[in-house]
Amino acid sequence: MTSALFFESLRTQWESGLPFVAYRKPNETQVNALFQKSDTLIYTQDFTESGFVFSPYNQEEETILIPLEGSDRCSMSEPEVTESDFYINGLDNNQNPASKERHMDLVAKGVNEIEQSNLQKVVLSRSEAIELTDPDPLRIFKKLLHRYSRAFVYLWYHPKIGLWLGATPETLIRVENKRLSVMALAGTQVYQGTVDVEWKTKERQEQQYVTDFIVSNLKTSAENIRVSEVETTRSGNLLHLKSTISGTLKSTARDMRQLLRTLHPTPAVCGVPKNEAMAFIKANEDYDREFYTGFLGELNFEKKRHPRSSVRNIEHRAYKTQTHYTQLYVNLRCMQLKENQAILYVGGGITSLSDPASEWDETVSKSNVIKSVL
């Protein structure tokens, strides 16, 4: 499908008030879309369904599904970009002293709680509103696609929920047949032309908390668990520390729903210990995260594979094998569009070594990922 027809189809679906999602995976050029044929709000029952899931941060709330059955699918290569697509359409009206002071007070409270209890890390976040003179989600989506090739970029809409966009750097989990991998991503600094940088103890400690949590919680479901070396990875104007935990699902492993409840939310978006961190966030953040720090992506999709070409199996090339895979991402670097506003969500990991002013600066740097397309 051509770029023009693809975006025309998105606009028709949106203006018709029908659910859809359009997305591109990291380091790929193909953009995919699912168009639900009705405006019914559909939830997963047990994560055995096939479709695109959109799940909130709160584990007690239901996960929304745009099902493969009952939806049309289409795709295109990278969209064409014109000069008008880069029209500056946002006005930042929330960088004020009160907002800064409120977040710094929250961080200080988190550090104090860590020093006074068994809480080791807690992720604290905030939201801010940007006034839009051109609140066209398709234009914003196109700019996200153009700017963030390494991220999972998406545009999601349901008339009964709202409209969300994002460019997240973090994979939650990928499962294909019995093989699985999980990303441990934490620690942040501004990219200044090189990934060869020094990391402070605070950031390395923060990333290790995430890795240890994932490894510990995978042991009941997976075997042959391996942890890659920690590396520096770039996401837009930011750098993070990343490692990949991989393994094989045990034959006795429970279902995907249980696996996700075990892993999510990870210390990268919540904290350690998990229950204490969730309780602190609920009691002290002054807003509802909704789908920020939830997860989204392809659930039980099907992939067709051709046999490898060789003289021996040349007569079998027409045969294909089918595998099923799930690939989910943490909903970071995201925004919600409401009328003429973009509501941005940003946060950071707090440990005993956190400095409130530095943590504020980190959220500002993260918000620039989205602001750069507004």
Which residues of the chain have a pLDDT value below 50? Answer: 88, 91, 93-94, 311
The whole-number pLDDT of residue 22 equals 98
The whole-number pLDDT of residue 321 equals 65
The whole-number pLDDT of residue 88 equals 45
Task: Kindly state which CATH superfamily the domain 3-304+319-371 is placed in.
Answer: Anthranilate synthase (3.60.120.10)
The whole-number pLDDT of residue 81 equals 59
Under 8 Å between Cβ of 321 and 103: no
The whole-number pLDDT of residue 98 equals 84
Under 8 Å between Cβ of 33 and 69: no
The whole-number pLDDT of residue 322 equals 72
Q: What is the mean pLDDT of the chain?
A: 90
The whole-number pLDDT of residue 113 equals 97
The whole-number pLDDT of residue 93 equals 46
